[in-house]
Amino acid sequence: MGRRHCAIVRALPENSKASRQNLKINNRADNLKMNISATGPTSAVNQAHLQGQGLLWDVFCRVIDNFGDIGVCWRLCADLAGRGQRVRLWLDDGSALAWMAPGALKGQHANITVHPWLETMDSQGLEELQPANVWIEAFGCEIEPVFISCYRQHTGTTPVWINLEYLSAEPFVERSHTLPSPVMSGPAKGWTKYFYYPGFTEKTGGLLREPWIKDRQALGSEASKTAWLQKFGITWQGEKLISLFCYASAPVTALLESLENFGEPVRLLVTEGQAKTAVQKVQRERNQPRSFDISFLPLVSQTDYDQLLGACDLNFVRGEDSLVRALWVGKPLVWQIYPQEDGAHHAKLHAFLDQMEAPASLHQWHQSWNGLTRQDSLQTLKSPLLAEWQSTAEAFRGRLTSQPDLTQQLIEFVTDKGEAVKKR
């Protein structure tokens, strides 16, 4: 970001160099310099336009647990890159990308580079870094002060600064979307962040949706379903397919009992991790023959997971990323929301179901699956029930695909904010 040393310097842990080598990242590749306006600070977005460049985005993500944060952030980066933007993804733990997005850590995805979080505290390294036009703090993570200080001292621009929030269907989302948040202290004092809320209505930031998703055929035909299953050693013979991706707290025993009474051939496709552990635990405890098949899948890429959702007749999903992907395939789904200790997720779940216009049976299944009602009250899964849910899923998908997607809106918002700074 310039040749002078930054005023804020924070010592790196002794193993920081090894961490950078393990991630195989080379910041020095980004050694282009942004011109500085001689008339004072201006928008970094406007500066890029003046130079005839596409925008450069810094996306910051701290991985908390369960891969949801990094999953959403990678999809956002990939979608931005697919629309001609350049992206740097800053992570404190990039290990999941090895299977989630093969090649990401080796720089094999066009217009995206992945960087270890430790480098945001390396003042000498930051001197060689091209300043970004846009900053995105994902899910409340905070950019390191030394990173901000270096940017401010060595550029004549201000980035458009986005605080990307968690997905919700609650009413406050429409009221809070794009509200400014002035920075009152620290190296960014006087700058402004903007709250950006994904959501399910046109008054929100929308949902991540790549352009190809509108083509339903791209999400899985009968032929592609058969080929995809064979890749994992599964010979599909026309049985109903149900995917299971859940947290450890899910009532898996009740689900397996329901599938025993499904009444026609069914195969449960279980994802690696907590879902697999829960199902295997029940199998050991029951130790008896079952009337349906179970297949355990390895860790799969996001591309393969999308194909899994498209192949199935019912998808059990959890968290934010898998929910959105399940919505795009237009198949019946049951969502396990991320549980919060204060029970705040209850209102969030009901708001989503209301937005979906879910029938009573789907409400009931969600309440039991999320521990809001007794597990033994789960209605037995049958084809007529899935048919009812199918109509709901298709209608909701239709409404959502008619709205602008998150990435499109985000690019437009950033461009508008850049122009606003220029006019001031």
Residues involved in catalysis: 69, 320
What does residue 355 show for φ and ψ, rounded to 5 degrees? Answer: -65, -35
d(CA 137, CA 142): 6
Residue type, 307: Q
Bridge-partner residues for 68, per DSSP? none
CB 86 within 8 A of CB 48: no
Residue type, 186: G
Give residues with Cβ within 8 angstroms of 323, minimum separation 6. 167, 317, 333, 335
CB 161 within 8 A of CB 413: no
What are the respective helix, strand and coil percentages of the chain, to the nearest 5? Answer: 45, 15, 40
Question: Cα 211 from chain centroid?
Answer: 16
d(CA 109, CA 131): 21
In three-state secondary structure terms, 416 is helix
d(CA 29, CA 217): 39
CA angle 108, 113, 116 (to 5 degrees): 120
d(CA 256, CA 143): 44
Phi-psi domain of 35 (left: phi exceeds 0; alpha: psi -120 through 50; beta: other): beta
d(CA 60, CA 73): 8
d(CA 75, CA 77): 5
